[in-house]
Chain A
């Protein structure tokens, strides 16, 4: 897999706000990449800079070996699928899809038979057959999503950028479109760069997941690595599956407000020291239950729990007022009932924790 897109030290500011702060990035060919970031992390800006709707203040962008920053959007060979789809409201499904072929400045297709054939092929690829003559205002959200994708794919881009493509769909449709998008990408063999604010979506879809934090790439890894070894406390926080403590490492122990945790698990380098333990690696026990020397124990007051079918998430408040979350998988045991405001021991194994120092 060769790098198809490379960003070198790309920066972009809006006034005092540094939306992109020196992005270094290299994306492989023929892959599904998800770009995960909290709102305001600069993910839409990054996408718009790659697409050419915004120019970077600094740095360079290479695509397929050519330098593309400063080039008009349509000369870059990169397709863009807008968050709200941005379909042409006055054109039919077929009219929308044919737009690029018929109206582009470089080599427009004037032969209507060629246009019709290409539109037919792409309509079949995205699964819209039979809807060609419908107005785009008369089709469902999922179908509009497919039209937006088909409209870009028909121009044969070498890469497609998708700006929160599933954000406008309801939850049910969203999970169906996930697998659909992956299948469509495999059929046409181009790189998809999919921007999302949902960690579940990013992990489920990406062959590679990029995490953007405050204008920088915080981590670039496959889903499994990202989930189990987040590169920084910020990434761990954003994954929404880690309890985080800030403090300091003193004599092989992590000292924080909640207590003193003996260090035994993985240690990762980070600017700010932090201690992270996954929600689902914590056991809830009675206050007086015994603890083995390998285990770390803190105490908390039970607040409430949230049932989600396969798991139940319980919330505790620690003595310093912080909320501590525990995820218990129901395949392991029937859900226990805890009494509100009662005190419990929260226990985890030393080596399950991640220590950033």
Chain B
């Protein structure tokens, strides 16, 4: 920032035209400062700490790759990595399957803009309740004596309560899908709402049926929304630990849960390794998703 000040003084006399852009750069200062202090420095620290020497009771700044070797040779850690990827893919697919048709309805088939806005706001209403309450509310729904099992048994559809509903991978996926679905619906509905209705009429006039139009026009034009939605959902699900802690009965361990546990037992180096792995994974996922669609064209 001091650089910017001295440069400003130098150019002031010579290049009048550059002055506004030099001044507007100051708008970035609070954001840049915030991000450097609370994002860039912590990430660099995390990478650094992951190479520190961890003993049972303390951690020393002597560089070693021991924690990394432990992470990649341990079944627990690799298993958690695999579970994270698996849950992420399943939740991503589930939010897409549940969210896309809803977005299609709100964004494309509801012609009244006011009504579609109201419907999108309705999607956000669950956020009025805190995150933890929403997660925990699944327990009385999915439990052995929960609402779903009670109804199914009353109706005579099942005789024994379905135990797999709660404290399993399924309950984690159900919980996460419900929480993150709206982040998929929003961007897709937004992109679909931007499609000019006459483009679809033109395709009809040229003789294409609904599925053809969906495949060749609607889906490609909504892809930027799908990608943005997928980035939201992916970043949030990959970093999750609360839903799996609350709904899996400790049976599902995500990388997030590993980090929480390691930090809890002061194993900073292991936590840092898991953190770096998770960060790289998220970066790779976001980079891969951004390759699907050129978002620059949409802005």
A residues adjacent to B (C-beta < 8 A): 51-53, 72-74, 79-80, 82-84, 86-90, 99-100, 103-106, 151-152, 155
Contact = CB atoms under 8 A, between A and B. Distances in A.
Interface in B174-229: 196, 198-199, 201-209, 212-213, 216-217, 220-221
Nearest to B206: A100
A105 B207 contact: yes
Contact of B206 (A53, A89, A155): A155
Contacts of A73: 201, 204-205
B208 A105 contact: yes
Interface residues of B, number: 18
Contacts of A86: 196, 198-199, 201-202
Contact of A104 (B208, B217, B220, B221): B208
Closest 5 A/B residue pairs (Cβ): A104-B207, A100-B206, A74-B207, A86-B198, A103-B208
Given A103-B216, A105-B212, A87 B207 contact: no
A91 B201 CA distance: 16
A80 B199 CA distance: 11
A151 B206 CA distance: 8
Interface of B: 196, 198-199, 201-209, 212-213, 216-217, 220-221
A168 to B, nearest CB: 12
A89 B224 CA distance: 13
A51 B201 CA distance: 10
Contact of B209 (A51, A80, A105): A105
Interface of A is mostly: loop
Given A88-B199, A99-B216, A152 B206 contact: yes
Contacts of B198: 82-84, 86
B207 A103 contact: yes
Contact of B207 (A84, A90, A155): A155
A103 B199 contact: no
Contacts of B204: 53, 72-74
Contact of A87 (B199, B213, B216): B199
A79 B204 CA distance: 11
16 contacts: A53-B205, A72-B204, A73-B204, A82-B202, A84-B196, A86-B198, A86-B201, A86-B202, A87-B202, A88-B216, A88-B217, A90-B220, A99-B216, A103-B208, A103-B212, A105-B208
Contacts of A106: 207
Contacts of A74: 204-208
A99 B205 contact: no
A183 B198 CA distance: 26
A316 to B, nearest CB: 45
Nearest to B223: A90
Nearest to B197: A86
A100 B196 contact: no
B203 A99 contact: yes
A27 to B, nearest CB: 19
A80 B208 contact: no
A72 B209 CA distance: 10
Nearest to A48: B201
A151 B198 CA distance: 14
B201 A90 contact: no
